[in-house]
């Protein structure tokens, strides 16, 4: 975690919003040990949904979207044995870049021993001529659990044409006990190739990714997830890959963001029962 960020720091570094959230397991429940924001970023008060022990926090950006050159940073840490749900308030909109200067978001997540994080990101919506870079670094200690999802849409343009943004890069790195177990470096440049072509989006418009890390992940669990996914009757295509250590990744292609979110939600709720013996999660955002 950084030293205290000030408004002057925002101006010097073009940092539009900074969020720092540290969560701790108290005798009765998990709660924020520190919640600190500066600029166009806020964290909601804890919402305890159906469970009185596990808080849900909404990460809120007040600017209405990312403009050219803006930089947002999130620092999230779960202390030993804590359990929390994090989600974004709404999809992140990235507006046009007239000078090819990217809008950027950096997120660092640290999970101490025995901690559990369920992090559901809404998809990123890239407007015409947008340039966007996102980097997410996740560090897990032993016996910690991560269920993480995010995605990107085909974008928005005044004439309704798809993939009119300039470029998007989403880089994700996951480390378990300081050992790298997952690197994903996705870059889409619509002007250079047909994004919906075979081998990229396979004719679909949108995609989502789900990352699951837990020491109970094995081939038997993967088979259960695949069997569950086979029964989903939506216009989607997906693949499930077992990582070399303690995890798996699901990549989902679809034409409707809602369909991708449904698939992620079904798998997420299945894992909540398997890992935590908890009921389905309903964030009621839509």
pLDDT value of residue 278: 93
The answer to whether residue 6 scores a pLDDT higher than 70 is no
pLDDT > 90 in the chain, percent:
82
The answer to whether residue 64 scores a pLDDT higher than 90 is no
The answer to whether residue 9 scores a pLDDT higher than 70 is no
Cα distances from 284 to residues 66, 85, 87, 97, 280, in angstroms, run 25, 14, 12, 33, 12
- Compute, in degrees rounded to 10, the torsion defined by CA atoms 158, 160, 163, 164: -30
Question: pTM of the full predicted structure?
Answer: 0.93
The answer to whether residue 225 scores a pLDDT higher than 70 is yes
Task: Report the C-alpha gap between 230 and 227 in whole angstroms.
Answer: 5
Mean pLDDT of 177-196: 93
Length of the chain: 286
pLDDT value of residue 63: 82
Go through 201-213 and write b for each residue having 16 or more CB atoms within 10 A of its CB, e for each that does not: beebbbbbbbbbb
pLDDT value of residue 190: 93
């Amino acid at each position: 975690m950084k030293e205290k960020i000030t408004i002057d720091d925002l101006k010097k570094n073009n940092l539009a919003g900074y969020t720092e959230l540290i969560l701790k397991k108290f005798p009765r429940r998990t709660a924020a040990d520190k919640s600190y924001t500066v600029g166009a970023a806020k964290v909601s008060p804890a919402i305890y949904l159906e469970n009185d022990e596990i808080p849900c926090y909404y990460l809120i950006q007040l600017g209405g979207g990312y403009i050219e050159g803006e930089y947002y940073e999130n620092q999230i840490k779960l202390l030993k044995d804590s359990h929390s749900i994090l989600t974004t308030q709404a999809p992140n909109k990235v507006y046009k870049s007239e000078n090819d200067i990217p809008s950027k978001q950096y997120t660092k997540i640290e999970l101490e021993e025995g901690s559990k994080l369920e992090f559901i990101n809404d998809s990123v919506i890239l407007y015409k001529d947008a340039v966007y870079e996102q980097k997410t670094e996740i560090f897990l200690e032993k016996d910690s659990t991560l269920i993480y999802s995010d995605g990107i849409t085909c974008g928005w343009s005044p004439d309704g044409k798809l993939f009119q943004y300039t470029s998007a890069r989403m880089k994700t790195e996951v480390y378990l006990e300081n050992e790298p177990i997952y690197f994903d470096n996705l870059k889409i440049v619509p002007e250079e190739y047909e994004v919906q072509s075979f081998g990229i989006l396979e004719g679909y418009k949108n995609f989502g990714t789900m990352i699951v890390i837990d020491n109970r992940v094995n081939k038997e669990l993967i088979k259960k997830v695949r069997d569950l996914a086979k029964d989903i009757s939506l216009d989607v295509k997906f693949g499930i890959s077992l990582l070399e250590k303690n995890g798996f990744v699901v990549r989902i292609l679809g034409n409707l963001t809602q369909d991708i979110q449904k698939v992620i939600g079904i798998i997420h709720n299945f894992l909540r029962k398997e890992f935590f013996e908890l009921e389905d999660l309903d964030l009621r955002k839509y």
